[in-house]
Structure formats: C-alpha cells, structure tokens
Copies of this chain bind each other. A is one copy, B any other.
Amino acid sequence: MSEQISDSHHEILDAAAKCFMKLGVNAASVDDIAHSLGSTKGRIYHHFASRGALLGAVRLQAPEFTRRAVAPVMDDNLSPSQNFHNMALTHIAAVFETLPYHKVVLQHYTGLEGKSATESDRAMEARIRDAKRGYEDLFRSVIHAGMQSGEFRCQNLSVTLHSVLILLNAPVFWYSPRPDEPQGFTAQVARQLADMGLAALI
C-alpha cells in the first residue's frame, strides 16, 4: 500500500494543486500547470493518464494529509470533549499546511457529480469518496461517543458532523497567507475555531 511515486510526481501534484486553486478547477488547463513548472504538457501526460486523473490525485491527497495528522492524536481514554478539541486543533493545523489541496477539494463539494464518463473515472471518484468518508468517521465516532455520554447535545448525528466539519474547514474559504500576517495568526484561528466547534456541540 506504500505509495511508490517519484519526486517529479509530487512536484507535479503540488503545482497542479496550486494552479487548480488559483485559476479554478475547471479553468486551469494542463498547459497552465505545465507552464508553472517550466515544462510542457509532455511531462504531465507522461506521469498521469489524463487531466482527470491528475485532478483526482490532488483531491485524494487532501483527506490523506489530515488523516495522517489527526489519527495519531486520537485517544479513547480522554473525554469526548477533550478528544474532539485535540482532533480539531490538529485538523485545522494540517489544513493550513496543505491549503491548496483543500481549496481544490472545496470546489467539488457542490455536488456536480453524475457525469462520470469512463470506468477509471468512477473508480477514482469512489476512492476519493471512501477516503473522505473514512476520515469523517473519525469525527463521527467521537461525536457519537459524546452524545451517548451526555456531554454533547443529542441531535441528528450526520447533520451535526457535517456542520461541525464545515465550521472547522471555514478558513479554507476565506484564508490566504499574507505577508503582513500577525505572528501566530493561524494558530490563534485554529484555537478559536476548535473552541467554537466544541461549543456548538454542547
């Protein structure tokens, strides 16, 4: 299961994520991405079967980044409140560190599905959906535990889960790194959002 991919592969992924973020998922052309690398289309089509495959690879990275960060800090011995707060803080920090990938994912939340053409396209879509859902289940379990223990309000679990996750992902919408940014701004935002997320559950 170890992802055996070359350096050039990663370099293309990063450049694609940034281009998709800046120009928009549909607007950014393969030529744009290649030009941002100082290369041509040949390089990209040598490593990726199609434009869709490249975009899928970028979208798949996002939940893997956050999962690799959040899964290790989960601790079932903690109270659901503390557990959630730790997870939320770690999640937001990870999002800030891999922002372009998450901004790309954001553009696919609108539900423009249903136009799956090739078989490999649908397979990639399924992989992305599973990775996303598997990561969400980490939060689903801790929220469920909190509701059963009485720490969190008992409400529709799915609605609560998605709403809180969107709240934690809010910076993906409005944040872009600025040079005149106060020291430790992102950490401060992360704390505020983790607090708000926890408060929204209680």
Instruction: Name A's B-contacting residues (CB within 8 A).
Output: 21-27, 103, 106-107, 109-112, 114-115, 153, 155-156, 159-160, 162-164, 166-167, 170, 173-174, 176, 188-189, 192-193, 195-197, 199-202
**Cα distance A160–B189 in the bound complex, in angstroms:** 9
Contacts of A114 in B (CB 8 A): 22
**B155 pairs with A166, CB closer than 8 A:** no
**B170 pairs with A163, CB closer than 8 A:** yes
Known: A103-B110, A162-B170, A166-B166. A156 touches B200 (CB 8 A): no
Partner of A173, one of B162, B176, B196: B162
Tell me if A's interface is mostly helix, strand, loop or mixed.
helix
Q: List the number of copies, as a whole number.
A: 2
**B196 pairs with A160, CB closer than 8 A:** yes
**Which single residue of chain B is at the shortest CB-CB distance from A188?**
B156
**Cα distance A66–B167 in the bound complex, in angstroms:** 20
Contacts of A25 in B (CB 8 A): 26
Contacts of A200 in B (CB 8 A): 167, 196-197, 199-200
Contacts of A173 in B (CB 8 A): 109-111, 162, 166
**Cα distance A21–B114 in the bound complex, in angstroms:** 12
**Cα distance A153–B201 in the bound complex, in angstroms:** 16
**B112 pairs with A22, CB closer than 8 A:** yes
**B176 pairs with A170, CB closer than 8 A:** no
